[in-house]
Each structure stands twice: as C-alpha cells, then as structure tokens.
Amino acid sequence: MNKTVNINLAGIFFHIDEDAYAKLQHYLEAIKRSLTNTQGKEEIIADIEARIAELFNEKIKDKKQVIGTTEVEAVIATMGQPEDYMLDDEIFEDEPSYTKSSTTGKQLFRDTENSYVGGVSSGLGHYLGIQALWVRLLWVILTIASSGAFVLIYIALWIFVPEAKTTADKLSMRGEEVNISNIERKIKEGFDDVAGKVRNADFDKYGRQVKSGASSAATGISSAILAILNVFVKFIGLLILLIAGSTLIALFIGLFTVGTFGIVEAPWTDYIEMAAIGAPIWVISLLTFFAVGIPFFFLFILGLKIMVRKLKSIGTLAKMVLLGLWLLSVIGLAFLGVKQATLRAFDGEIVITEKLPITPQDTLYLSMRSNPEYSSNTRRRGLEIKYDDNDTKIMYITDINVVVKSTKDSIGRIEIIKTADGSDYKDAKDRAKNISYNTNLDGNKLYLDSYLTSNLDEYYRDQEVKVTVYVPEGSVLFVDDNVGDYYRYSDYAGGILKYDQEEHFVKVIENGTICETCPIESIDSSDGSWDNDDNWDESDSFDDDEINVRINSDGVQINNKKKDNWEESSKFSDDDNVKVRINSDGVQINKNNDKKIKIDENGIEIKKN
C-alpha cells in the first residue's frame, strides 16, 4: 500500500498517494521549465494549479478520498502536456497544435473587468453568447415593467454568482478550454494590453499637465463647471432613458393585449371590431408598435449613450433594418388612415315625419325614456355594446338630439332624421335606414327614446338621430327634466325652449315660449343681476338712483325722479317728471303734467292740459 501525502494546491488540501504525487510534481516542474523567461510566469503557474485543484474536486466524492495515479493522469490529459505547446512568443502568432484536452462548457461568472455595477450583465452576456449591452437593456426594461422588482433579482445574482478572478475562471466564463496554452495566452494578452497603454501614452501631454500645476485654481474652476454640466447632461440622459423605456414597455403591453384580438376574448374587442379598420387587429398593432416604438428605441439608445461612455453601436445593418421597418409601418398606417377616411367620406339621411294630434288648446308633456333591457339610465352614455332579445350583439348609441319648434298648423308633428356616414351616398343612406329608433304618444304624453340601436355588422359610422317636435302655437308644453341632456339650445338649431324651462309649463307662441310657472325675476339695482325676491315691496326705494324701476306681481312702475315713498299713492303727483305704471288697471303715462295717457279695458284716453 502506497504512502499518502497531504498537499495544498491553490489553497485547497488533498490526500494523494505517493506515486500520484510524484507524477503531479514532475508535471508541474515540467510546466515551470517550459515557462522559463515567460512574462507572468508566476500568475500562469497559479492559474494552472487552481485549475488542477478544480479538476481534482470534480473527481473526488468526499474530502477523505485519496487521489491516485488515475486521477492525476486524467487531469494531465485534460490540461495537456507541456511539450505539446509552443510556450514562447510564437504561440500568439501561430495556431497551437492539437492536444488531447477536453472541452468544458460555459460557466456563469460575474465579469467585473467589463462591468458598470457588479458584472452580472457582462457575465450573462458571455454565458448567453450575446453582447452585454442587450442584457443591460433587458434589465432596464424588466425593472421598469416590474416596478423595480427585478432589482432584487439583480442583487441576488450579484451576491450568489462568483466573480471571475482567476484566468481559469475567465476562460470558463467564455467557454474556452482551460489548458496551459489558453492560460498563458490569456495572461500574456493582459500584459500586452498594459504594455500597449504604456507605449501609447502621450508623455508630452503628461509633461504639459505637470507643468500646468501652477494654474491649478483655474483648472479647478473649469473642472467644477464641467462636472456640473456633466451631471446635467447625465440627468437629461436619464430622463430620456426613463421616458423612452416607459413608452416601449407600454407599447409592448399594448402589442400583447390588443395584438391578441381574435385569440383571447375581451369586452373591448367588440369596440375595435365596430371600427372596421380594414385590416386584422394584430397587423394594426404591429404597425403601430414599429411606427411609434422605433423612434423611442433610438431615443432609448441616445439616453444610454449619454449615460454610458464608449457604448457600442448597434451596427449599420441594424439601423437600416429598423429604418426600413419604420418607413413601412408609417406608410402602412397612412394607407389604412386614408382608407378609413374614405369609408366615412359621405353622409346620408332618412327623414320620417309623423303627425302629432296636439291642438292649440292641448297641453303636451314631453319626456325621454330608456329601455330597462339595455339600461335604466336616460342620460347620455355614448356608445355601448348590448344584447337584444335574441342574445345578438347590437350597438346601443345615445347620440340623440331633440329640438322643439312652433308651428301655425292646427296640429303638431314629429320629424325624425336618421343620419350615418358611408363610403358613398348609397352606403351612408343604407346605414341610416338600418337605424332603429322609436317614439310613443300616450294620450297627451310624448315619449322619445333616449337611444338608437343598430346591428354590429353595420359598424360604427357616426350614427345619430335628430328629433324635431313641432307644437302648435297657443298650446302649452311641459318638458321633463331628462330632456335637457339631449336638447339643442343653440340659436343655430332654432328651438323655442330656453335654459331652465324644464319642469315648467310654457305657452307656445310664434318662434318662442312664455313661461307660465317660472319664478318672477327682478333686477337687483346694486349689481344689475336678476334674482328672485318674494317681498320686494318691503325694501326701500333706490337710494342713489334718479330712476326707480319696480317689476313685481303688482305690475311695472317707472319713475325717473327719486321718490322716498312711492307706494303712498297709486296716482301721479304734480311734481313728478315722468311716470309709467303698468298693472291690472292698465297703462298710465304722465309727462311734465302736459300729457296723460291711459290705456285700459275701456280703451285709450289721452288728456292734454
């Protein structure tokens, strides 16, 4: 039985038998001899020993297991024999000869040499075989989309993923063979980089900087200004980054929600279907995503370039492809927009006139009504999708306009105008004809539907209904409060109702109304506004005005000369200048005692002194 030796290899203890130890020691000595006069010899040896220790750990099952000759030979086969390599400077000019080393798969490490925070993104880039830039972009997008939750995942990876410290770790991170040749090449590349920086150093520049030490105060001020500007620019870059990133995330969400139309059932899909854009929804989603998303993507890259120095370009090919996609998307959306406009280029209408058996001696009650099957609300609600008695989807639209006009005819009438848009006049008129709208006269109560309906396959083409109610002059009209939401009070509409006449009896006259139950309004002399005053006679006459005007239940009284106690007499005194009184007794006018005019039920009396 061979003697067991305890060895320390790269800080790890192993039990190895005497023959295996001799073989391993001979192997390491041969490597050292082959690296004579090689730059970085000690670091190369340390990395080789660390790699051998790693391979030993993979082969033993527990710490007490003794490493034998078999395990040592397997490690040597993996690492390669020293004589198999050209261990001098020519290794970096020619391809190495074939070795019997085995390939190792990539291992996940943190690449702190090419990192901005912890090297997680750079390490993942090596592991996935993509540029670290795209991993960083993905982290930003996922962090914004998850409201910061992915920051915790990043921190967890930062904690648990080991750093690539040794050359063997860096080779494993890139999926390269960890053998003597690659270890030496990697280390010498590091020395060459340092040497290159030294060779390329601008010593004259550094000399000038040393000589300029006397002007350090001015340099400090300029450096402070540059630092402030740099912070401001970084803030702008961060702002651009956040805005562009948020927009891209919103577009992604929109693409995967609206873009799934036809695959996933959702209530809003019916409203999209009603628009009848002329292309599948997923096509519209993609075109919109590219047309809006690509400019924001370049803004996102701009923000990254402001934030990150020496950011690699995405490449000319990628830029040209994105530009082409953007142009195609814009052209596609423009084409669909023009097509959609042509579908609404014409408007058509259907006019229906119905008799309204209301005479000048009648009172008409006007009210809006809803359909409990669809909605109990009589207020405007825009466009909705409802189900009819046959469980068929229909458009439920509350775009109803009501106008009341006077007529000299002996009876009233109702005029219903249905309108819709279409690709041509016939198409628009057909859509208007298919609008369903009803009215109902119950005695002297006229009920108007507060909605119209149309089939879903008619699509939404701005369908609406205008109802004009012609009421004979002399009749009385009572309008329900729920009509106000649909009534057109504008002068252009030509209606006779005024604001706040709902819920009041109004008498219809030629092109107007007289409210019979509206509260009496008076002019407030202090501000000229109208207000209600139930007991105006109890107030004092106007203190500072030379004209007294009073309008109340007793009639109208006008005096152009101030009088403290106007109510003492119903007649005009001789000292009055001008006085006008209009009440139940008639009209009386007096001017400077020269002329009196009285108009009452007995006729007109004019008296001149």
For 343, the token pair is: 């579908």
**Residue 206 within any structural domain of the chain:** no
**At which of 480, 497, 515 does a domain end?**
515
Residues 153-169: tens digit of each pLDDT:
777 677 767 887 776 67
- Residues 305 and 423 reside in one and the same domain: no
Which residue has better confidence, 288 or 574? Answer: 288
Give the span between the Cα atoms of 220 and 227, in whole angstroms: 10
CB atoms within 10 A of CB 62: 5
Answer whether 348's CB lies under 8 Å from 432's CB. yes
Helix (H, G, I), strand (E, B) or coil at 10: coil
What mean pLDDT is predicted for residues 561-568? 50
Give the span between the Cα atoms of 79 and 88, in whole angstroms: 17
**Residue 575 within any structural domain of the chain:** yes
- Lowest pLDDT segment from 7-16, 165-174, 316-325: 165-174
- Residues 283 and 389 reside in one and the same domain: no
For 407, the token pair is: 């007529």
State residue 531's pLDDT score.
46
Give the span between the Cα atoms of 232 and 601, in whole angstroms: 89
**Residue 228 within any structural domain of the chain:** yes
- Residues 353 and 502 reside in one and the same domain: yes
**Residue 533 within any structural domain of the chain:** yes
**At which of 92, 115, 133 does a domain end?**
92
Give the span between the Cα atoms of 396 and 382, in whole angstroms: 8
- Site of tokens 């020269």: 594
Residues 374-388: tens digit of each pLDDT:
776 667 777 777 877
State residue 5's pLDDT score.
80
Q: Across-strand partners of 174?
A: none
Range with top average pLDDT, 48-52, 155-159, 530-534: 48-52
- Residues 357 and 493 reside in one and the same domain: yes
**Residue 530 within any structural domain of the chain:** yes
- Residues 542 and 569 reside in one and the same domain: yes
**At which of 92, 115, 139 does a domain end?**
92
Q: What's the 3-state SS for 336-348?
A: HHHHHHHCCCEEE
The dihedrals phi and psi of 335, each to the nearest 5 degrees, come to -60, -45
- Please report which confidence band the pLDDT of residue 105 belongs to, taking 50, 70 and 90 as the band edges: low
Give the span between the Cα atoms of 431 and 457, in whole angstroms: 10
- Residues 271 and 381 reside in one and the same domain: no
Residue 470 has pLDDT above 90, yes or no: yes
- Residues 543 and 600 reside in one and the same domain: yes
Burial class (CB in 10 A: 0-12, 13-18, 19+), 373: exposed
- Residues 275 and 318 reside in one and the same domain: yes
- Residues 241 and 259 reside in one and the same domain: yes
Number of domains in the chain: 4
Give the span between the Cα atoms of 249 and 297, in whole angstroms: 11
Residues 191-200: tens digit of each pLDDT:
555 445 444 4
Q: What's the 3-state SS for 445-512?
A: EEEEECCEEEEHHHCCCCCEEEEEEEEECCCEEEECHHHCCCECCCHHHCCCCCCCCCCCEEEEECCE
For 544, the token pair is: 């500072």
- Residues 548 and 492 reside in one and the same domain: no
**Residue 441 within any structural domain of the chain:** yes
What mean pLDDT is predicted for residues 77-81? 78
- Residues 415 and 509 reside in one and the same domain: yes
Q: Which helix (H) or strand (E) holds 465?
A: strand 464-472
Residue 541 has pLDDT above 50, yes or no: no
**Residue 124 within any structural domain of the chain:** no
Residue 530 has pLDDT above 50, yes or no: no
State residue 93's pLDDT score.
39
**Residue 588 within any structural domain of the chain:** yes
To 10 degrees, the CA torsion angle through 429, 434, 435, 437?
A: 120
For 565, the token pair is: 């106690």
State residue 546's pLDDT score.
55
What is the percentage of the chain residues whose pLDDT exceeds 70? 67
Q: DSSP states of 146-205 as a string?
A: TTTHHHHHHHHHHHHSPB--SHHHHHHHHT---SHHHHHHHHHHHHHHHHHHHHT--HHH
Q: Which helix (H) or strand (E) holds 525?
A: none
233: left (phi over 0), alpha (psi -120 to 50) or beta: alpha
The contacts of residue 402 (CB under 8 Å, 6+ apart) are: 368, 448, 466, 467, 468, 469, 483, 486, 487, 488
Residue 574 has pLDDT above 50, yes or no: no
Residues 390-448: tens digit of each pLDDT:
778 888 888 889 999 999 988 999 999 999 988 888 888 988 998 899 999 998 999 99
- Residues 293 and 326 reside in one and the same domain: yes
CB atoms within 10 A of CB 430: 15
Can you say how many angstroms the Cα of residue 335 is from the centroid of all Cα atoms in its chain?
A: 24
Give the span between the Cα atoms of 214 and 207, in whole angstroms: 13
What mean pLDDT is predicted for residues 116-121? 76
To 10 degrees, the CA torsion angle through 373, 377, 378, 384?
A: -70
| Domain that residue 556 falls in | 522-608
Residues 317-372: tens digit of each pLDDT:
888 898 899 999 999 888 888 887 877 778 888 999 999 998 889 899 999 888 87
- Site of tokens 């962090």: 143
Helix (H, G, I), strand (E, B) or coil at 418: strand
